[in-house]
Structures are given as C-alpha cells and as structure tokens.
Amino acid sequence: MSEQPKPPKDPTRHSTYIPIEKQSTKPFHPTPMLDQLESGPWPSFVTGLKRLAHSNNMMVDLMGQLEHSYKTRLGYWKGGTVSVFGYGGGIIPRFSEVASLFPESKEFHTLRVQPPAGNHYTTKLLRQLSDSWSKWGSGLIAFHGQTGNIMFIGTTTENTQHFFDEINEYGFDLGGAGPCVRTAMSCVGAARCEQSCTNEHRIHRTLVNNFIDDMHRPALPYKFKFKVSGCPNDCMNSIQRADFAVIGTWRNDMQVDQSEVKSYVQSHGRKYTIDNVIARCPTKALSLNDDDTLEVDNRSCVRCMHCINVMTKALKPGTDRGITLLIGGKRTLKIGDTMGTVIIPFMKMDTDEDYEKLRELAATVVDFWAENGLEHERCGEMIERIGLANFLEGIGVEVDPNMISHPRTSSYVRLDDWDAEAEKWVARQKEKNSGEQVARA
Amino acid sequence: MTQQVAPAAEKKKMRTPIESGCPDGVQYMHPLMVKNFGKWKYHDRPRPGVLHHVAYSGDEIWTVRVGTQRQLGPYEINLLCDIFDKYGEGHVRFTIRSNIEVMVSSWEKVGPLIQALNDAGYPVGGTGNSVTMISHTQGWLHCDIPGTDASGVVKSLMDELYEEFIKEEMPNRVHITTSCCQINCGGQGDIAINVQHTKPPKINHDLVANVCERPSVVARCPVAAIRPAIVNGKPSLEVDEKKCICCGACYPPCPPMQINDPEHSKLAIWVGGKNSNARSKPMFQKLVAAGLPNNPPRWPEVAAVVKNILYTYKKDARDWERVGDWVERIGWPRFFELTGLPFTKFHIDNWRGARNSLNASAHIRF
C-alpha cells in the first residue's frame, strides 16, 4: 500500500471525518477488520458507513453484519418480495439471516431508481435526493449500480413506499428488477463529446420510456437491457452488456483537417504517427502521404475510432450519421458470455419518424422474445438456440452480410429454397439501387 | 436519520405512482452543454484528471474527474456539493465507473477546484491512459449471493493503485472490474477479479422443497447436473458432483444449495476484456490466474497478482495497446513467461466454441 495521505487541512471537511457526537443509541459492534479499510489514500467507504452509524442504529447493525461477513467470509442477505403500490418490481428486498445478532438492520432493502439520462445532476438535485433518503432510509446511496440505477441502499419495507412517494413527486421513477426491461444507460454523448454521432439522450428515453409497463411489472422471460453509446468507442459497454445495443456511427467519409494532421505529425514525429495511427488501423485504410497529409480509404474503414481517438483535432466522424444496432449481448449465465450481433448495420436518426421506427423495432424484438424465449433465457441465448436467420424472420428484418464475420464453414445445411432466397437478395439490391438513383436525381 | 412512520390513515389510501420513467437529463445539464449539444469540435487533456472540450461556437468547457467510494452518504454528498457550488458551477455528472465529473466554463477555475477536492481527501484523475476507478458490484454489503465483498476489494486495490489513478502513465486506459460471483455483474475488464467456486453446492435437503421451485432450478444448471430426488423422505434435489462445474447458477433460485464457502470460494484473475471497438473488435477477458484465497479485509494475494500483471503491461506494452491488444501482439506464451504465472490445463477452454480458441496454425513465437 502506498504512503498515508497528509493530515487534512480541515479535519471536519474531509473524507476521513468522523463526528465526535454519537446520536445513534445502540453501541457500536467491534469492527477490527473493517477498520483496516479506513487507512490508505482512497476515500474509504468504511469511514462513510461509520459516519452514518453515528446517526442511526440501522447502520450500527449493518456494520456489525458486514464485519461478521468479513470474519466468516459468507454473505447473510436473503431476497423476498417487497414492492411499492402499483408496481411489481424496482426494489431489491434484503432480509438478514443473522437478524438475531443485528436486529436493527434486519430489513435493509434497496430501491433502484432511474437516473436522468446521461447521469446529469445539479448539486441541488443531489442534495435533494440525499435529504429524501436520509429521511426515509439509511442515507447510503450508490452512484450507480452496474445496470445504471441510483441505488438507495437500506430501508424497511414500510419506508420504501414513503421514499418512493416523495421522490416520485419530483420526477423520479423506479428502475427494473427481475424479469423485465431494466434501467437503460447512455453516454455523455452529444452533450460534451465531439465523437458523438447521434442524440444518445433522446434514443435512451425514447426506448426505455416506451417500456415503462414492462419495467414496473416483471413478466418477461428474463431481464432486457438497452444501452446507448454515441460512437463505436462504446463507453456504455453496450455490445457486451446490453440485449439491445445502440451505437452511433456514420457512413460517409470521415472528416479530415489536413493542416491539423500536419501539425500532429510535426509535434509527434513521423515514426510515432506511423506506429500509432497508420499501423494501428485494423483494416489498413490509412496511409501517410509524403507531405504529411493523411490518405483515408473510407470504403475499407470499419469505424473503429482508433485514429480519431488519437488525433482528436485532425479527425472526426463523417457527417452522414446514424446508428448501428446490435442485439443479444449478456454476461455469463447460462450459456456463457455473448456479444451482441449486428441486426441493423445502419439507420438514420434524424426525424421523428426515424425515432418511431426505432421504437417499433425495439417493441417487435421484445415481443418476439417474450413469445419465444424460455424462462430465464436472455434474448441472445434465444438467438443462439433458434439461429440468427430464424430470429431475423421473426422480427421481419432481412439478412445482411454485415451481420456475420464470415459465411458458414460447414456444409451440413439444407438449401431447399436457395434459388428463391437468392432472388430475394437480387430484388432487394435492385430496389436499393433504384432508390439511390432516385435520391441522386 | 429520523425513521418516520406514517399515520395509519395514510396507509389506507395508497398513492398511485406517476410512471414517469427515465428523467430528462437536459434540465440538469451544464448550460454550455445544452447550448453546444451536438456541436463540439475537439477535445484535449491539459493535465491528468481534466478534459477540455471546444465547441464550434468557440465555447470551451473543462471537466474535472473525481474518484469516489461509490457508496455515498449525506456527509460526503454535501461536502462534495459544497465544493462543486463554491469552486465549480453546480453541474455534475457521473461516469460509468462511478467517477464524478465537474464541469466549469473557465480554465482559471480548474486549479482551485482540484485543490479543494484534494484538500477534502478526494483524488482527481481517471482520465486517458490511467487506471480509472474499479467498477464493482455489491458484495457482502447488500447482495444475496456474494462470494466476497466488492467495496473492500476495490478500496484496498485503489489504495495501492492511487498513483496510477492520478497520473496518466499507462500505455492506454486500464479498466479493472470485480465480481463477487460467476455471473460477473462487473463485466469485461482489462483485468477482472472474479469469484470462482471450486466445490459443488452443499445442499440443505430439509429446506429445498419449501424454498425452491425445483424444475426451474434443474433448468438453471448449464451442464444438466441437477436432478430431482427424494432425500431422507423429502422431495429435494441432488447434484451429480462429477458433472458439476461449481458455477453457482443454482444458488440464486435455491438458497439451500449453498455454493459459497469461506475456504473453497476462490478468486480468479482474467485479462484482456475490452468493450471499445477501437483497433480490434470488442474482446472477452481470458482466465490467467485462479485459486487465490478470499482474504479480507485487504486481499493481499489478489493485489499482488493484479499489480504483477499491471506493471508487466506498463513496462512491455506499446502506446495505445490495451491489455488485450498487448497480449495479442506478444502472444500468450510470452504473457505467462513475463508475468511468471503458471500455465495449466485449466487455461484450455472446453466450453462450447472452445475449438475456436485453439491454435490451428504453425504460428509460434520463439
């Protein structure tokens, strides 16, 4: 462990502060193991728990139970059924298995609450949420859980309703828990990032707020997550973690400011530019010209973002922007990890109709999966079971070579309708080409 | 806290919820972000922990990124908000890794803001090629199935990696994750620290029939090792222990099938997970070390392996290589050689699709 931090200038205004006065009436449990997590330079959650334990008995016993877990190396929370009036989900009930030892925290439920899209807050809002939770709960809030919820950790069954009523009045709603549509996430995106290719904020709210009923009343095969990243850097980890991943992208040439390219080469050197920009292009679509300008083979570019990440002043996504959709990402249970699969290589997100189209597509996907998914089967697992082609047919999306890494390598397949399927492709290409001609004319 | 109890009259008439869903973030956004929404030109990083974005309008915004303990109480929230109000402009946001971003409209405000945060014991960093905050799960604090704690593992590791958070000295960004069970809520990481159980569940046959919906538990098993059985005259479940992969999937739907064990629930380290599409496609993390003891409160054995991998990467990787990119260049034999970690038969995958992970070529590095 690195050195101890310097003593604070003002000990009463510091992450290590412990109140002198104890307002909670219950004596502290000894916590020799947790105490060891108070030292060191990183702000300590244990010190935070202790501050709360100075003001309420629930946190006194919560610390006792946590120390008990550290000592015995086992967890002691059990689930159950707790909900607010009118909803079936959104609360993670926790009942202590060692309540006889730690009775004050025998009920220690979490409320999952949807944060504002993009996780934007004012200090006024943070204080307001904190005040509400100190009134009705333990005071402890996690910003944020892995799904993206604000997690208000620790209250009684009784008080979940009062807390919800209070924050619901000023615009906050519960997230999902159980087999339902879950709280969504979107990156900072267009609000502060030049790499953003779409309005993440609007997509996020369009998608998830269309499924409010499916979020509050869990009745799907399993969880379903939407995540929105404004570019292929995918800061929201959506391809890997979301059943329905929206990634901003573009389809025309990337924007290149050649004078900025030159100044980058000048300040970083040719070798550095070649090694770190040109040679790192996954499809060899870049070439540095003799005059230190950049040549881009845009038809081979896969929009990976690497060169744009490195040369933030010289390079930018193109101007004909939209989104790529991938479906079926999830974590380990049950068949092992899956990444999402491209379902829509590109769609524009400019008009209200575009948003309506996206909303309808999401509804079609969720409906098809709700009908065909087995209990506890994520959408990606269902696709794995039935095959991508059947899934596409089910949601009414035509096949596209962007959906695969490569065509099949096994000859074990029946091709009864080959001619008809080939004809469909030819017809679609014709339609596409004539459409492009109309657009050009 | 004042645990208020509502009067009995209120209980009868329940309030109908307003199903408002996800709130609009624009109302809380910094005014410069609202004004220049979708019209940003470029960014740079004037120093570790600070981002500087320039809009086409000429407006500039500086973002100061602050590390937190994720679980915050009213004291921390008010302490930080006081700083954000006095030295910032009252508008903040959270990153996916629980860092707070404070936006200000002038460079002159950045220094005093950082000073005030540091004076209050909060680190500024986590940008660019640093080790940013470890993303973590709930663990013993609140989860119903955890094999270990999350906050404690993260606190002890961040203490050790503090300098790497406040500096930008790694080849590229490093995302570390933790997960307290094999479901792996922590997700993919350049380095992932995950519980790995090593013994089949211990079944309390007296409770199974009352607590568990037996057919769903049977269906939950990834290797079909669970079957209904009558044990001691009671309907229960039994596990084919030879088939069992000790994943713990049966434990959440059936708590009497206890998978957690103080001795045999171990920690494993995985490397090379990547969510970004930059350079290579998104990558899954790969198992490199296992059998590490679950050793609270500071998990020194885990920290040693993580630091070994991290500093080997720091020394050997080239600029812009993430951990996964680096290993793809040098190859797995060299990874095990450089880190000194043992390579075993358990590193060879045998799950579905495993053949794709075998070397079907004469590509060998010497």
The full set of domains in chain B, from first to last, is 26-119 (3.30.70.3340), 139-198+262-348 (3.30.413.10), 202-258 (3.30.70.20)
Give the separation between CA A298 and CA B141, rounded to whole angstroms. Answer: 50
The verdict on a CB contact (< 8 Å) between A168 and B142 is no
Burial class (CB in 10 A: 0-12, 13-18, 19+), A261: buried
- List phi, psi (to 5°) of A282: -65, -20
Q: Does B79 touch chain A (CB under 8 A)?
A: yes
Partner residue opposite B79 with nearest CB, options A13, A153, A312: A13
Please state the length of chain B: 366
Contact between chains at B183 and A333 (C-beta distance less than 8 A):
yes
What residues of A are in contact with residue B69 (Cβ under 8 Å)? 15, 42-45, 48
Question: What are the structure tokens assigned to B223, written together?
Answer: 């290797």
At A6, is the pLDDT very low, low, confident or very high (cuts 50, 70, 90)? confident
- State which residue of chain A sits closest to B258, comparing Cα positions: A74
Identify whether the C-beta of residue A221 lies closer than 8 Å to the C-beta of residue A374.
Answer: yes
Backbone angles phi, psi at A337, to 5 degrees: -65, 140
Contact (Cβ atoms closer than 8 angstroms) between residue A215 and residue A341: no
Q: Which CATH number fits domain A78-169: 3.40.50.300, 3.20.20.300, 2.40.10.350, 3.30.70.2500?
A: 3.30.70.2500
**Residues 1-30 in B contacting A (C-alpha not used; CB under 8 Å):** 1-6, 14-30
- Chain-chain contact of B5 with A339 (C-beta, under 8 angstroms): no
A236 contacts in chain B (CB < 8 Å)? 96
pLDDT by residue (tens digit) across A84-117? 999 999 999 999 999 999 999 999 999 999 999 9
pLDDT score of B365: 96
Give the pLDDT of residue B1: 47
Q: Do A70 and B3 touch (CB under 8 A)?
A: no
Chain A residue at shortest CA distance from B91: A122
What is the value of pTM for the model shown? Answer: 0.96
Q: Which amino acid is at A193?
A: C
> For A120, which of B85, B93, B184 is closest by C-beta distance?
B93
- pLDDT tens for A72-85 read 999 999 999 999 99
Cβ-defined contact of B22 to A116 (cutoff 8 Å)? yes
Residue B341 C-alpha, separation from nearest chain A C-alpha, in angstroms: 22
The answer to whether B4 contacts A162, with C-beta atoms less than 8 Å apart, is yes
Q: Which of B37, B188, B265 sits opposite A191 (nearest CB)?
A: B37
Residue B74's φ and ψ, nearest 5 degrees, are -60, -35
Closest residue in B to A14 (Cα–Cα): B120
Instruction: Give the span between the Cα atoms of B271 and B289, in whole angstroms.
Output: 9
How many Å lie between the alpha carbon of B236 and the closest alpha carbon of chain A?
Answer: 20
**Looking at CA atoms only, how far is residue A440 from chain B in angstroms?**
27
CA distance A224 to chain B (A): 14
3 state DSSP class of B91? strand
Mutation target among B142, B157, B198, B319 for the A interface, most CBs of A within 10 A:
B142
- Give me the pLDDT at residue A4, please: 59
From the candidates A3, A12, A14, A15, which should be mutated to test the interface with B, based on the most B CB atoms within 10 A? A15
Q: Residue B3 has what pLDDT?
A: 52
Q: What is the pLDDT of residues B235-261, one digit of tens each?
A: 999 999 999 999 999 999 999 999 999
Measure the CA–CA gap between A203 and A238, rounded to whole angstroms.
14
Q: Give the helix/strand (H/E) hosting B288.
A: strand B286-292
Shortest Cα–Cα distance, A257 to chain B (Å): 11
* Average pLDDT, integer, range A333-353: 95
**If 0-12 CB within 10 Å is exposed, 13-18 middle and 19+ buried, where does residue B194 land?**
buried
User: Which residue in chain A is spatially nearest to B325 when comparing CA positions?
Assistant: A280
Residue A242 CA to residue A247 CA, distance in Å, equals 11
Q: What are the residue boundaries of the structural domains of chain A, listed by start?
A: 14-72, 78-169, 185-251+320-404, 255-316
Helix (H, G, I), strand (E, B) or coil at B313: helix
Q: Measure in Å the smallest separation between the Cα of A90 and chain B Cα atoms.
A: 12
Residues in chain B within 8 Å Cβ distance of A235: 96, 275-276
Strand order of the sheet with strand B176-179? B176-179, B191-197, B265-271, B286-292
Cβ contact A34–B297 (<8 Å): yes
Show the low-confidence residues of chain B (pLDDT under 70).
1-12
Pick the closest to residue A121 from B86, B62, B101, B29 (CA basis). B29
Q: What is the CATH number of domain A185-251+320-404?
A: 3.30.413.10
Whether residue A121 and residue B94 make contact (CB cut-off 8 A), yes or no, is yes
Q: Do B92 and A126 touch (CB under 8 A)?
A: yes
Interface predicted TM-score (ipTM): 0.96
Mutation target vs B (from A126, A151, A286, A385; most B CBs, 10 A cutoff): A126
Domains A185-251+320-404 and A255-316 share a fold: no
Mutate to test the interface with B, among A20, A62, A83, A123 (most CBs of B within 10 A): A123
Closest CA in chain B for residue A31: B297
| Alpha-helix residue ranges (DSSP H) falling in chain B | 8-12, 31-35, 74-87, 110-119, 151-160, 162-166, 205-211, 214-220, 300-316, 323-330, 332-339
- The pair of three-digit structure tokens given for residue B344, joined into one six-digit string: 């075993």
Among chain A residues, CA nearest to B81: A123
Q: So what CATH class is A255-316?
A: alpha beta
CB contact under 8 A, A173 and B222: no
* A234 neighbourhood in chain B, CB within 8 Å: 275-277, 282
Asked if B22 lies within 8 A of A183 by C-beta distance, the reply is: yes
Out of B30, B94, B255, name the one closest to residue A78 (CB). B255
Residue of chain B minimizing CA distance to A207: B22
State the best of A131, A180, A194 to mutate against chain B, taking most chain B CBs within 10 Å: A194
Q: What is the DSSP letter of A113?
A: E
d(CA A194, CA A260): 16
pLDDT of residue B304: 98
Which chain B residues are within 8 Å of A102, Cβ to Cβ?
Answer: none
